[in-house]
Structure 1
Amino acid sequence: MPDLEQMVKRQKALADFGDFALRNEDLDQILTEACRLVGDALGTDLAKVLEIEQNGQCLFMRAGIGWKPGLVGKLRLPMNERSSETYSIKAGKPVVTQDISKEDRFEFPDFLKEHGAVAIVNVPIFLPGGKPYGLLQVDSRKPREFGEEDIAFLRTYATILGPVIDRLHKSHSLKDALEANQHLLKELQHRVKNHISIITSLVRLRAKDVSSEEARRELTTVGERIEVLRLVNELLYVAGTTDLLRLRPYVMQLVESLCHLDEGQFGKVRLDFAIEEVDLGPEIAVPLGLILNEFVTNSLKYAFDGQGGVISVSIEVLEENGIRVRMSDNGKGLTAEPRPARPGSGTGMKLIEAFARQLDAKLDWSSSQGTALSLEFSRH
């Protein structure tokens, strides 16, 4: 019968192990600490956790203390009928051997004798739901009875181990599944990026081949709109996510690519950005990018008469998750009505209005020193 000091020591071992298990996600470290604490609490030099492997054909020494190098994490024991471990798992209860030299029920592996193990107690570890995980095994170098209090302590310890092992198994399975899904996502994004690039290249090639100037303008405009989609996918791919992309680099790359695409035709255009750091989902970034595409394209074609100028884009974060976007040029300005993206078509204006409705944003056009377009919307 353990004295009061030993009882307190065992209670402290259970508390210390519970605290350690809550703060750690490494199963091997947790099981090793379990062996150390239980060995210390019972005053034994040897302890180990054996894990059932290969459909119940063998036991793997997953963790342990007091053993020579090369055993823990490598040793496998067959689960035969003469094994005390096998008997304990099948019976579902602790099995005690006070002295292995006098035991005629079981056969014991040589490594136990080589380490001086004399008395052994096997305690099954069960996962939630009753599935056996393996054994907590404590070995003493001298004959020992392992009384009822010892067994009760070990059973309590094994009962705590089961849910801890189950939690970490599930956590690792979820982590593995997440990593696999992230790999598939990256592969899918890569393929989408390549497909969009192919479509863009085909549109540009076709634009060069057509004889009609109007058709060439139409195809070029379509290619620019596809480029918005490609850029969104590109930034999401680089970030390794499908949820959010950084607004500042997205807007800057988009506008810069439009202005530098054919600088000789429009004249030298200076860009002025004032964009706060904010992340947006693709469901907002795509329509916003298409609005910017239409506005900038419109400015390049009709604002500067080939003499160049300044295009400015400012984006600020408002209270209550609001976003205010203002784009402007210092060109000729609007006449009676906002000028269309292409003479006579009005398609660009219709697209801007449609994409603004997608964002649930109100458009505000102005023309004092050039043309400006402002819109506000919620990012959620």
Structure 2
Amino acid sequence: MTDPVGSPTDMTILAQAIVNSIPEPFLMLDARFRVLAASQSFYDKFQVDAAQTHGCELFVLGNGQWNIPALRILLDRIILDRAPVDGFEVEQDFPGIGRRTMLLDARKVPRAPDEDIRILLAFRDVTARRVIEKEKEAILEQSEHLRRQQQVLLEEMQHRVANSLQIIASILLLKARAVSSEETRHHLHDAHQRVMSVAAVQQHLHATDGVDKVEVSAYLAKLCSGLASSMVGEGQPVAIKAMADVGMVPSATAVSLGLIVTELVINALKYAFPVLKADALVLVTYEIDAADWKLVVSDNGVGKSEIEKAAADGGLGTTIVKALATQLGAQVEVLASEDGLTTSVTRATFTSRMPQAA
């Protein structure tokens, strides 16, 4: 005769069917941690059968891989209605399947006061995940090692470049003092100024503690400050100021911008103020609009003088500026008036918001 629906036999069959439907290995334990039921996934995973599992204490299953003092303590806490077990990690050699990493989750089954204690114990195999994590850690460690090596090499290269530039600058000054031709001495002084400007750019990039990107506002401010301290003479004091939008630019772009600014400032200091001017000013502005930008170097000097026109049209500084601008995909425009000279280096169409020196 068939048991009525809802009888203990039917409920037991239903419970076992539910347990067997769970894809992860699963055990039901009593208060003495003996196996009352196991899911089919448990038998499949650990390659055991019911005779080897049912009625056995958890801690003697297999080769005793679950006989872990810390696990015993955690399961005892569950019996005392303490915290459940979440993600207890076990790495052991299991008979038939080898070394595996398992995470254990345990919960006490809610019950009536007169019912026996039941504990549900689930197993998650995270062996593959741990292997991937270890591989990723090894790759990250190797990448960090390579990064540190590159940083050391970069610092060594920067140090050598700085020393080489200082040596070249010193040699140029010695040669300038030794030659008798005033024209040759003038060219050697020009070359010295350009070497020092390259050194100033390189020194600032080294101090920014970043290889890929440079904050352009601080960069131009420091560059202009360095140019003012090293190139403005007492005979004609000239203020060199920078106004720039805040933004990051690639280091290669920063180098080109720095060299353009240096060349244009050198030209302004050489030609814009042939006579003393109380409010002499060279103003450097840099504006950003998405991928577009505009760099302007303006002065309030003599502007339309013949020597200024010559410097703007065909000097070495102008040639260098045009070449650097071409590398940056930008156009150069020079405007001269009685109020001074303005040189704009623009990438794409740009409407300026910044003031000019004049």
Q: How does the TM-score come out when normalised to structure 2?
A: 0.60
- Structure 2 residue aligned with 1:204, among 173, 185, 195? 173
Letter in 1 for 2:250: G
- Tell me how far apart the structure 2 counterparts of residues 297 and 157 of structure 1 sit (CA, whole Å): 66
Residue of structure 2 equivalent to 1:2: 27
**Aligned runs of 1:269-284 on 2, under 5 Å?**
269-284=238-253
- Tell me how far apart the structure 2 counterparts of residues 211 and 282 of structure 1 sit (CA, whole Å): 41
Residue of structure 1 equivalent to 2:160: 191
Q: Cα–Cα, structure 1 residues 164 and 254, in superposed 2: closer, same or farther, change >3 Å?
A: closer
Q: Does 1:295 align with 2:270?
A: no
How far the C-alpha of 1:290 sits from its partner, in A, is: 2.6
- Tell me how far apart the structure 2 counterparts of residues 270 and 362 of structure 1 sit (CA, whole Å): 26
Q: Is the 8 A contact 1:317 1:323 kept in 2?
A: yes
How far the C-alpha of 1:268 sits from its partner, in A, is: 1.2
Residue of structure 2 equivalent to 1:28: none
Deviations 1:273-306 (A, max 9, x none): 2112222224323332232222222222222124
How far the C-alpha of 1:160 sits from its partner, in A, is: 3.8
- Tell me how far apart the structure 2 counterparts of residues 94 and 366 of structure 1 sit (CA, whole Å): 83
Residue of structure 2 equivalent to 1:22: none
- Structure 2 residue aligned with 1:352, among 321, 324, 327? 321
- Tell me how far apart the structure 2 counterparts of residues 95 and 249 of structure 1 sit (CA, whole Å): 65
Residue of structure 2 equivalent to 1:261: 230
How far the C-alpha of 1:364 sits from its partner, in A, is: 1.9
Q: Is the 8 A contact 2:272 2:308 kept in 1?
A: no
- Tell me how far apart the structure 2 counterparts of residues 354 and 157 of structure 1 sit (CA, whole Å): 59
Residue of structure 1 equivalent to 2:68: 44
How far the C-alpha of 1:46 sits from its partner, in A, is: 4.7
Q: Does 1:316 align with 2:340?
A: no
Q: Is the 8 A contact 1:266 1:300 kept in 2?
A: no
How far the C-alpha of 1:314 sits from its partner, in A, is: 1.1
Q: Does 1:124 align with 2:110?
A: no
Q: Is the 8 A contact 1:316 1:323 kept in 2?
A: yes
Q: Which runs of 4+ in 1 moved over 4 A?
A: 4-7, 335-338
Residue of structure 1 equivalent to 2:81: none
Q: Cα–Cα, structure 1 residues 180 and 46, in superposed 2: closer, same or farther, change >3 Å?
A: farther
- Corresponding residue SS for 1:332: coil
**Aligned runs of 1:1-380 on 2, under 5 Å?**
2-3=27-28, 44-46=68-70, 94-95=94-95, 124=99, 153=123, 156-264=125-233, 266-308=235-277, 309-318=280-289, 320-335=290-305, 339-341=309-311, 346-368=315-337, 369-377=339-347
Q: Is the 8 A contact 2:271 2:308 kept in 1?
A: no
Query: Which has the larger Rg?
Result: 2
Residue of structure 1 equivalent to 2:355: none
How far the C-alpha of 1:307 sits from its partner, in A, is: 0.8
How far the C-alpha of 1:4 sits from its partner, in A, is: 7.5
Q: Is the 8 A contact 1:340 1:349 kept in 2?
A: no
Letter in 1 for 2:283: S
Letter in 1 for 2:68: T
Residue of structure 2 equivalent to 1:35: none
Letter in 2 for 1:286: V
How far the C-alpha of 1:250 sits from its partner, in A, is: 3.1
How far the C-alpha of 1:182 sits from its partner, in A, is: 1.8
How far the C-alpha of 1:200 sits from its partner, in A, is: 2.0
- Tell me how far apart the structure 2 counterparts of residues 228 and 264 of structure 1 sit (CA, whole Å): 16
- Corresponding residue SS for 2:243: strand
Equivalences, count:
257
Letter in 2 for 1:3: M
How far the C-alpha of 1:153 sits from its partner, in A, is: 4.5
Letter in 2 for 1:311: V
Q: Is the 8 A contact 1:200 1:226 kept in 2?
A: yes
- Tell me how far apart the structure 1 counterparts of residues 163 and 174 of structure 2 sit (CA, whole Å): 16
Q: Cα–Cα, structure 1 residues 187 and 165, in superposed 2: closer, same or farther, change >3 Å?
A: same
How far the C-alpha of 1:377 sits from its partner, in A, is: 1.6
How far the C-alpha of 1:248 sits from its partner, in A, is: 2.6
- Tell me how far apart the structure 1 counterparts of residues 300 and 205 of structure 2 sit (CA, whole Å): 33
TM-align CA RMSD: 4.0
- Corresponding residue SS for 2:283: strand
Q: Is the 8 A contact 1:266 1:304 kept in 2?
A: no
Q: Is the 8 A contact 1:246 1:280 kept in 2?
A: yes
Q: Is the 8 A contact 2:240 2:283 kept in 1?
A: yes
Q: Is the 8 A contact 1:297 1:341 kept in 2?
A: no
